[in-house]
Chains A and B, each alone.
Chain A
């Protein structure tokens, strides 16, 4: 049986479009895409079974990319929300400022201060991590859909970046966390908090496929759009996944949907 899956997202939908149009496209998923880059879905709300926006600019951007600017929610068996700020980056921003006693690199107050961080309590770190995730557009879209439909809504954060991104000053935090031995902690923390917020919103979450992850905090080049390095003359893209990644992720999504599907009486 084919599942009609509506994929909503930003530029991180691109990999899934590539996977859907490739020769080995998933057979059991009929994909429809809806979204555009950046925050085009921010103004969308679910009303009377329709997912629509009063903002003409947002509608136009989405229409220009996918041909329609409104969704009939009843036309799909499930929804997949991708990216839109749901990523490991907010955790990097948090843990480059503060430390947890659970981190392998932290022995106590002194070692944290030597690393230029303050200790923060588990309750605070969990609350702030959830706050950062729920403030993302990805979570808000998933929440709105979850409130409007009985059909399953699945959330997939954007892939971790390529490791070479850590050379950029604004992403140095990832390499610092990795070098300090805290990569596994931060990665697991991110997945756990994302699961928590999704559960609280009544939506499913699918973690990044294990085989695509490089050193906990990064994505292996083979699963990224730019591969090992940017093409000659092209701007580097260390953020976006490729079709191989999307294929693995879609398998995970299909698994999550089949686990959720009601069993026969």
Chain B
């Protein structure tokens, strides 16, 4: 009888898979099937880490779908402030599987919920995505129509993308009681008075997290039968909990539920794979810290490593990317020859 470990590949042993492995590339850590190519339309949603992956995927030559692209002539600071170019649509961060599931449902139903808007100082806020309109809207009609347009464009993304990369961060959310819908991030920052009456802080159970992830996959495949889903748990921690208990425990609980549910789904469904960003950034495998001094932000080195791991596993080489400002659209509308002629005519006469 052969030893049961005889044919076990090296990545399955801690010593050969982690301790003695080339930890800059981690052979065998992420071997997705099928692999993406530059021809695939990739949609990205979720938390901050997927934004970094998208940037590197683009730089490596891959396509990231943008349903609400940044208009030309918008500087990078302004684009970022208004949520352009962050994800495949101007969703702002989506932290929980429940919020993503609801967004997909609303997009396919083109359903705008009137109770998910708030008013403060005469400004109207879309409580599902406060961060992408930090100054609010001028009037209710503008907020509602832009929400409607957003949902229509999102439905398009869900129907045409070849792959969705989804990075999930938390298993807690503020829930608006009338619709049962999750509020987006940034509501508190914009002003606690925006919170609807009787808003409830909900901590989702393991079963709910798993069910929401399953529903996301099902809803997508119902409308886009060939779509692949790549799920990751965002290593960026939750920065506060509004339920009893220490935030460290709340964070570990949420990440654990997400990690388990994502792994389960990937194991059960051939069209789902799990990208181990959380595993890499939050384990003993990282000799240097994966987080900056604020213990929230992933270091540039870790972000680069995640990008390299992702791109290399799909056969692309992650390129160095730069956050240099986009040049504004050229303003010179005049023909230089005509300009010179006009001046000479005036000043030489």
Could you list which residues of chain A lie within 8 angstroms of chain B, going by C-beta atoms? Answer: 10-11, 13-15, 17-18, 21, 33, 36-38, 65-66, 85, 87, 89-90, 93-94, 97-98, 101-102, 108-109, 112-113, 118-124, 127-128, 131-132, 135-136, 161, 170-171, 225, 235, 237, 239-240
| Contact A90 B73, CB 8 Å, known A11-B334, A11-B340, A14-B342 | yes
In contact, B346 and A13 (Cβ under 8 angstroms): yes
Residues of A within 8 A of B343 (CB): 10-11, 13-14, 36-37, 65
Closest 7 CB pairs of A and B: A11-B339, A109-B149, A14-B346, A122-B138, A123-B135, A85-B331, A17-B346
A232 CB to closest chain B CB (Å) equals 16
Q: Which of A124, A132, A235 contacts B338 (CB 8 A)?
A: A235
Give every chain B residue within 8 A of A14 (Cβ-Cβ): 342-343, 345-347
Q: Which among A33, A66, A90, A121 is the interface contact of B146 at CB below 8 angstroms?
A: A121
From known contacts A66-B347, A136-B331, infer whether A120 and B338 are also in contact, taking CB-CB under 8 Å: no
Q: Is the CB of B347 within 8 A of A65?
A: yes
- CA distance in complex: A36, B339 (Å): 9
Q: Is there contact, CB below 8 Å, between A121 and B138?
A: yes
Please, which residues of chain A bring their CB within 8 A of the CB of B137?
A: 121-123
Minimum CB distance partner of A89 in chain B: B333
Residue of A nearest to B75 (CB): A131
Which residues from chain A contact B142 at a C-beta distance below 8 Å?
A: 101, 119, 121-122
Q: Mark B78-122, 1 if CB is under 8 A from A, else 0.
A: 100110000000000000000000000000000000000000000
Name the residue of chain A whose CB is nearest to the CB of B146.
A119
Closest to A130 in B: B78
Kindly list 9 other residue pairs between chains A and B, CB separation below 8 angstroms, not including A11-B338, A109-B146.
Answer: A11-B343, A14-B343, A14-B347, A37-B342, A38-B339, A87-B331, A90-B73, A93-B329, A119-B145
Q: How large is the interface on B (under 10, 10 to 19, 20 to 34, 35 or more residues)?
A: 35 or more
Q: Which residues of B contact A239 (CB under 8 A)?
A: 333-335, 338-339
At the interface, yes or no: B74 with Cβ under 8 Å from chain A? yes
Question: Which residue in chain A gives the minimum CB-CB distance to B126?
Answer: A121
Interface presence of B283 (CB below 8 A): no
B334–A127 CB distance below 8 A: no
Chain B residues with CB under 8 Å of A18's CB are 346, 349
| CB pair A101 B331 closer than 8 Å | no
| Bound-state Cα–Cα, A107 to B332, Å | 33
Say whether B341 faces chain A, with CB atoms less than 8 Å apart: yes
- Kindly identify which residue among B82, B152, B336 contacts A109, using a CB–CB cutoff of 8 Å: B152
B 276-315 to A, binary, CB cutoff 8 A, 1 in contact else 0: 0000000000000000000000000000000000000000
